[in-house]
Amino acid sequence: MRSGFRLAALAPRWRKVVRDLSLARARTFMVVLSIAVGVFAIGTVAGTRQRIARALDDSFRAIQPSNATLTTFTTFDDDLVSTVERMPEVAEAEGRRSLFVRVRAAGGEWRNMQLNVLPKDGLTRLDRVLPHEGQWPPPRRAMVVERSALGLVGAGIGEDVTVRTPLGKERTLRVVGTAFDVYALIFTIDGTPWGYIDEDTLAWLGEGRGVNELHLRAAERADDAGHIADVVAAVRDKLERDGRAIYYMTIPEPGKHPLDSTIQAMLLLLGAMGALALGLSGFLVANTAAAIMAQETRAIGIMKAIGAGQGQIGGLYAGLVLAYGALSLGVALPAGLAGTVWLSRLMARYLNLDLHGGVISLPVLALQAAVALLVPVIAAAVPIWLGTRITVREALNSYGLGRGQFGRRRMDRLLERLSGLSRPLLLGLRNTFRRPGRLMLTVITLTIAGAMFVGVLHVRASLGRTMDTLMQLYQYDVAIQLARPYRLERLLGVAQGVPGIREAEGWGFTSARHLGAERPQGPSMLSLSVPLIVFAPPAQSTMLRVPILRGRWLLPGDERAAVVSTAVLDDQPGLDVGGTIRLKLEGRDTSWTVVGVTQGLGPTPLIYVNYLPFSKVVEAAGQAQWLSVTLIEPSEAARQTAAKALESAFERAGLRISLVIKIDEERREALAAFDGIIALLLAMVGLMAIVGGLGLAGTTSLNVIERTREIGVMRAIGAGDGTLYQIILVETLTVALLSWLLGTALSLPLGWALGRAIGQSLLGNPLSFGLSLGGAAVWLGLEVVLVLLCSWLPARRAVRISVREALAYD
Amino acid sequence: MTSADPHPPLILLSGVVKRFATAAGEFEALRGVDLTVDHGEFVAVVGKSGSGKSTLLNMIAGIDRPSEGSIAVHGSSLGQLSEAQLARWRGLSLGIVFQFFQLMPTLTALENVQLPMDFAGRGAGPEAAGRARELLRRVGLADQADKLPAALSGGEQQRVAIARALANDPPLVVADEPTGNLDSATADQIFRLFEQLVAVGKTIVFVTHDRDLAQRASRVLEIADGRIVGDHLVGLSAASETS
Ligand SMILES: Nc1ncnc2c1ncn2[C@@H]1O[C@H](COP(=O)(O)OP(=O)(O)OP(=O)(O)O)[C@@H](O)[C@H]1O
Ligand SMILES: [Mg+2]
């Protein structure tokens, strides 16, 4: 024995543990892998959670977040800013300028963009923008683009874009770098890129001085949302007394990242997957331990016969399990670090976050060590206790054959009735049900793995289904938002002159203030209080189909009736169907009865009212600020062409457009909001495939390794290779199919519950449940392939060894 | 006889009945066995297959418990011991030798011999290794000490098993067909080892199918249908019958 010297210091029983580890290499490999997959998953999940949480904290602290931002329609000067700053409730007030422009990259088309004006040094006091790549701060006659928005702009660093200002001036600016702005991502997701310029560039674009945003930090109780709302109300009143109409207010949830609810949904998913991986790992180990104890029956009998007590033997096997755990750490720690790097990068990319600091975290490593050492011991406790309880006589009489009586007769009778089954098939089936305890453990393990895999795919399908439902909203092909209301006939006349248009509809459109809003709260995706958008389509419009969650859609005769999105309800707790909502519309206080609630798509609170009452209230009868258009032959290309033609036709007619909306883009942008979650879900599916697949592989091969002696016996009584393979395959396939059925069944409630939780935190509503039959099919395929592979290899080994070896003491 | 007896017998069975539950109902493997074995006896148990020899041996070794009756071995009433106490008692009071050797396959010969010392808490240090080596020398296997069982012949494995049975220097060795799996020359070697052990004062109870070997013991118990039907002291012309 080469290892004799090193082992000499160990008591003989611990030497047995070490030899068992090193001699039964296939077994050690499978057990260590079984534990390692769970520990790896835990490490990846915990490590990622920690890295993302730290990155969130860092990125948020670094920007000196404001408590609120007020944006006005018209610009104002620094005196007003100073007046606000002198208010006792306000610690800091900073005036900023932003403007909405149209932008076009070379060869691209016009799209909307928000340009933010920064001081010469690029450094603001609140809500800082941080340099990312290229030049910083933005130099004269150039712009820096927010890094998540580069793709939307369609130009890279060093390329030129054309900017058209609201006054119609066109200038060419070079994109010289990228920046990082915590608040930008939500606008990127909504399809509006953010860019940054300096004051000279602003003047060069022909825009006057003055600011239109007021960023505030409260003097006290900055973490009290109620107090902040009061401060903001006081500032708003001051601005309004000064004659400034508020365009919108942004009140982030105190101390929270703007994407907090998305992040919470992701962390929830991570946590759930971590917990499931832990449970799976536990069952995997229990299963493995039971297999090992079955193999060790004889050894236990001998040890008892020569004077070992149950405690001593139990300690010995607990030691073995601990050793497996320790070995698995060797695999799981580096794998967990790699997993953390991969998953946290993936999440950081979708969350527009910078990851700082190392990947190695002592608490996560400690957690992994605790899981690797404790979970196996806990999971193996029962199998070890049961295994060591066996009496010497039972242990030595049993040759690992024919044990287990429970259910055998009933099962046999059942099987015998299935006449026409071949002998090996019958044997394989009977073997499967011979040890119900072991069978149950194996099936539970594989069931959990399958349920996780398929369940996550159900969540993904549910997300898609929910999106589809929400997308039915848009029944038009192109829509145009105008800079101000125009006469309806004029708009329709121009639109009808454009080729390819089938129908055009003019809507009332405006932004409003929700007078009953108490404070921003609740799980809206943005945790921002943005202005309400009011749409007033003609009664029985065919251009939109609003999905109704509760109540009903507008009827032609409805006067002061409104259908509101869930985001509106968040602003006014207690508001629901039958309640009254008070809106400040074009400077007038109005009340509407809520008749229906719809699921909003984005963060913006939406309100739908009938055109007639709306135009009466805003005194714009016969006018419209929104035009929805359907095409004769709708297609993405047709919509592009029509949008361009409409834009130029309106321009020629002197109608000022503020937005052109193409439905395809709208759809893409809405879906993009869920890219992060979907990517995470897919990552989880991959992780589960690895964990579940390895679990399956380990369990199957252990089951066959356990059969070695039996295979020898069957061989001795004349079973040929084909027969042996057939018996083993029938047995393992039965287990695989059974657990596939159960796993697929269990995936339904699991996917439903996860979809509920994720929908709740993303949309404020459960996802509508979608089935992933493909997911179930893929898992079946994966299971069958793995089972065949993992039983074939050990079976081949078992079949190859001689009868004498198989029957010798294993 | 009571525990106050100044020279209690090593083994004392009275009214031992052992019933097994089988598919066909209860089966009595032992039907009222009374037996006394004193220190230093060399006892052979013979009988047809299925007569109850192994069952009897298992009773003596505390491997199985009787359905009725009482058993006392080496001063302990086995019925009063828990499984854990029984295991400890077994480790110190007797050595067991099996027909199929039953060595731990992943331990060397030396380590197999050391294992009972380890379980009995008698240290695993160098002095324990020294004692184990000495036992292997006594069974003629000093050179094979560091081999794994798979590398040893059947006879050698059985000699390791005997050395292991002697690890904690118990007064009693029980053996169930110790030579059943060996050729006659090897069986003879094993048997000579037994004779040497008896010569140094050990008590040995063994089961055998070999009438010749049985005749080399000092006492032969014959079992039929779960009863002791013959009890001869070898070398004495008169058979002393018990019932
Ligand atoms: N666990 C058990 N359950 C049921 N019956 C048993 C059990 N163990 C032994 N028997 C029965 O008890 C009887 C005696 O068995 P035992 O093993 O003592 O016989 P034996 O004399 O050692 O035979 P052999 O020479 O074949 O080893 C046999 O008929 C056997 O079938
Ligand atoms: Mg027997």
Per-residue model confidence as pLDDT tens digits over B101-125: 888 888 889 989 988 888 888 766 7
Same domain, A451 and A501: no
Task: Tell me the pLDDT tens digit for each residue of B173-212.
Answer: 999 888 887 888 888 888 888 899 899 999 999 999 888 8
Confidence of residue B238 (pLDDT cuts 50, 70, 90): very low
CB A239 within 8 A of CB A87: no
- Regarding whether A433 and A328 lie in a shared domain, the answer is no
Other Cβ atoms within 10 Å of A430 Cβ, number: 18
Q: Select from A664, A666, A658, A671 the least CA-distant residue to A511.
A: A658
Q: Do the Cβ atoms of A144 and A177 come closer than 8 Å?
A: yes
Residue A117 tokens read as 């004006």
pLDDT at A409: 53
Dig out the tokens for A31 from the structure: 């057990």
Residue type, B94: L
Q: How far apart are CA A272 and CA A456, in angstroms?
A: 11
In this structure, what DSSP letter does residue A148 have?
Answer: G
Instruction: List, in sequence order, the alpha helices (H) in B13-52.
Output: none
CA distances from residue A293 to A217, A288, A289, A381, A405 in whole angstroms, order as listed: 65, 9, 6, 11, 18
Q: Which amino acid makes up residue B1? A: M
Gap between the Cα atoms of A351 and A264, Å rounded: 12
**What CATH number was assigned to the domain covering residues B11-242?**
3.40.50.300
Nearest CA to ligand 1 atom 29: B50
Structure tokens at A703: 């089951």
**% of chain A surpassing 90 pLDDT:** 17
Those residues with Cβ within 8 angstroms of residue B167's Cβ, 6 or more apart along the chain or in another chain: A306, B95, B113, B114, B115, B116, B117, B131, B132, B135
Asked if A88 and A230 sit in the same domain, the reply is: yes
A10 part of a folded domain: no
Q: Do A93 and A201 fall within a single domain?
A: yes
| Residue A690 belongs to some domain of the structure | yes
Residues in A touching B164 (Cβ below 8 Å): 306
Q: Is the distance from CB of A600 to CB of A565 less than 8 angstroms?
A: yes
Q: Is A801 helix (H, G, I), strand (E, B) or coil?
A: coil
Quote the pLDDT of residue B120: 84
Chain A to chain B, count of Cβ pairs less than 8 Å apart? 100
Distances (CA, A) of A184 to A121, A146, A252, A575, A672: 20, 7, 13, 30, 14
Tokens of A252: 């982030």
Residue B224: predicted pLDDT: 93
The overall average pLDDT reported for chain A is 81
Mutate to test the interface with B, among A306, A390, A394 (most CBs of B within 10 A): A306
- Claim to verify: residue A388 and residue A333 sit in the same structural domain: yes
Domain identity same for A47 and A103:
no
For A788-792, the CB contacts below 8 A with 24+ separation are A788/A729, A788/A732, A788/A733, A789/A697, A790/A696, A790/A697, A790/A698, A790/A700, A790/A701, A790/A704, A790/A732, A791/A700, A791/A701, A791/A703, A791/A704, A791/A728, A791/A729, A791/A731, A791/A732, A792/A725, A792/A729
pLDDT at res. A6: 56
Could you tell me if A205 and A294 lie in one domain?
A: no
Count other Cβ atoms within 10 Å, centred on residue A500. 17
DSSP A574: T
Identity at A164, one-letter amino acid code: R
Residue B66: pLDDT band (50, 70, 90) is very high
What is the model's pLDDT at position A523? 32
A674 neighbors A463 (Cβ within 8 angstroms): yes
> What was the pLDDT predicted at A282?
81
Residues A406 and A393 in one domain: no
Chain A interface includes B116 (CB < 8 A): yes
Residue B211 alpha carbon to ligand 1 centre in Å: 20
Q: Which residue of B has its CA nearest to A3?
A: B146
Residue B237 has pLDDT above 50, yes or no: no
Instruction: Give me the helices (H) in B61-125, please.
Output: 83-93, 109-119
CA distance A305 to chain B (A): 7
CA distance A583 to A575: 13
Contacts of A269 (CB under 8 A, 6+ apart): A459, A677, A680, A681, A684, A754, A758
For A615, the token pair is 């135009």
Q: Does a structural domain hold residue A687?
A: yes
The whole domain housing A372 covers 16-65+265-398
Comparing B158 with A694, the larger pLDDT belongs to B158
Q: Are residues A334 and A278 in the same domain?
A: yes
Residue of B nearest to A809 (CA): B105
- Whether residues A567 and A694 share a domain: the answer is no
Bond preceding residue A137 cis, omega within 30 of 0 = yes
Number of domains in chain A: 4
Q: Same domain, yes or no, for A142 and A92?
A: yes
Is ligand 1 within 6 A of the CB of residue B149?
no
Whether A310 and chain B come into contact, CB under 8 Å, resolves to yes
Gyration radius from chain A CA atoms: 34
Q: Which of A365, A380, A398 delimits the end of a domain? A: A398
Using CA atoms, how far residue A770 sits from A276, A470, A602, in Å, is 21, 14, 21
Rounded distance, CA A802 to CA A797, Å?
10
Q: Residue A542 domain-assigned?
A: yes
Nearest to B178 by CA among B157, B152, B154, B206: B206
Q: What per-residue confidence (pLDDT) applies to A101? A: 87
Domain ranges (residues) in chain B:
11-242
Residue A641 belongs to some domain of the structure: no
Does A21 touch chain B if contact means CB atoms closer than 8 Å? Answer: no
Residue A203, amino acid: A
Domain boundary among A398, A415, A432: A398
Domain co-membership, A221 together with A74: yes
pLDDT at A448: 82
Q: Which two tokens stand for residue B60?
A: 């003596």
CA distance A725 to A731: 10
Query: Has residue A2 been placed in a domain?
Result: no
Give Cβ neighbours of residue B193 (< 8 Å, ≥ 6 apart).
B139, B159, B162
B contacts of A311 (beta carbons < 8 Å) = 84
Taking contacts as CB-CB distances below 8 angstroms, the residues of chain B near A809 are 100, 102-103, 105, 149
- What is the pLDDT, as a whole number, of residue A519? 46
CB contact under 8 A, A312 and B119: yes
Measured in Å, residue B191 CA sits from the centre of ligand 2 at 18
Residue A562, SS3 per DSSP: strand
Query: Within 13 A of A293's CA, how many CA atoms are on the CB side?
Result: 26
DSSP alpha helix (H) spans, A73-206: 78-85, 150-153, 184-189, 199-204
pLDDT tens readout for residues B19-30: 988 878 888 999
Look at chain A and count its residues.
810
In the predicted model, residues of chain A with pLDDT beneath 50 are 1-5, 398-408, 519-529, 809-810
- pTM for this predicted structure: 0.71
| pLDDT value for A717 | 67
Spatial separation of the C-alpha atoms in residues A70 and B22, rounded to whole Å: 88
